[in-house]
């Protein structure tokens, strides 16, 4: 599986963001998304593959762990990764499932490796499949709007029944 993204713990999120934006500018990187304690960087027209996350203090060992995500080629691959990792001694950190808080079609599983690093396997639903899932709502809305427009121009009266 190729690497999908990695997240580095940093002591100063603003400082690290400034540094990495400057260092990665020649490679075409820019900010993709800012969250409360995290910044995702990406190359234009691609998904974020490099994340920085704020460590609250040098005492907080959990947030100093690295996060790496491997790309799965299907939801089954994500589930297989999760089961194999648990069997190999990993600890559950999020079972396989859809993660709509990230983006539509983001299906992932998370485990903690033997050192406590957060290891993810993610499957990105193809953009065209997401578009097909949204299309019926758009087409239906356009059809109703078109019918209402055409009906109004044709002199049809619409009656609302209670």
What is the reported pLDDT for 1? 47
pTM above 0.95, yes or no: no
Order across the sheet with 118-124: list the strands.
Answer: 29-34, 38-43, 50-54, 3-10, 67-71, 118-124, 106-112, 91-98
pLDDT digits (tens, 9 = 90+) for 34-52: 988 999 999 887 778 999 9
What is the distance between the alpha carbons of residues 83 and 95, in angstroms, rounded to a whole number? 9
Separation of alpha carbons 94 and 120, rounded Å: 9
Question: Around Cβ 43, how many Cβ atoms within 10 Å?
Answer: 15
- Pick 60 or 53 by higher pLDDT: 53
Contact 53, 7 (CB under 8 A): yes
| Tokens read off for 79 | 């589930």
Contact 4, 50 (CB under 8 A): no
Listing DSSP states for 39-98 in one string gives EEEEETTS---EEEEE-S-TT-SGGGS-EEEEEPSSHHHHHHHHHHHHHTT-EEEEEEEE
pLDDT at 159 over 90: no
- CA gap 7, 51 in Å, rounded: 4
pLDDT band at 111 (very low <50, low <70, confident <90, very high): very high
Among 29-43, 64-78, 111-125, 137-151, name the one with the lowest average pLDDT.
137-151
């Amino acid at each position: 599986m190729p690497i999908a993204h990695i997240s580095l713990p940093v002591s100063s999120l603003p400082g690290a963001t400034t540094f990495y934006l400057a260092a990665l500018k020649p490679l075409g990187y820019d900010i993709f998304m800012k969250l409360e304690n995290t910044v995702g960087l990406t190359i234009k027209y691609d998904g974020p593959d490099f994340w920085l996350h704020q460590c609250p203090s040098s005492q907080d060992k959990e947030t100093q762990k690295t996060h790496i995500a491997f790309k799965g080629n299907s939801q089954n691959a994500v589930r297989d990764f999760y089961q194999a990792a648990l069997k190999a001694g990993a600890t559950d950190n999020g079972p396989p499932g859809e993660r709509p808080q990230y983006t539509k079609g983001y299906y992932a599983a998370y485990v903690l490796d033997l050192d406590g690093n957060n290891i993810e396997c993610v499957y990105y639903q193809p953009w065209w499949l997401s578009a097909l899932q949204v299309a019926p709502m758009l087409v239906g809305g356009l059809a109703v709007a078109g019918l209402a427009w055409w009906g109004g121009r044709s002199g049809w009266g619409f009656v609302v029944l209670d």
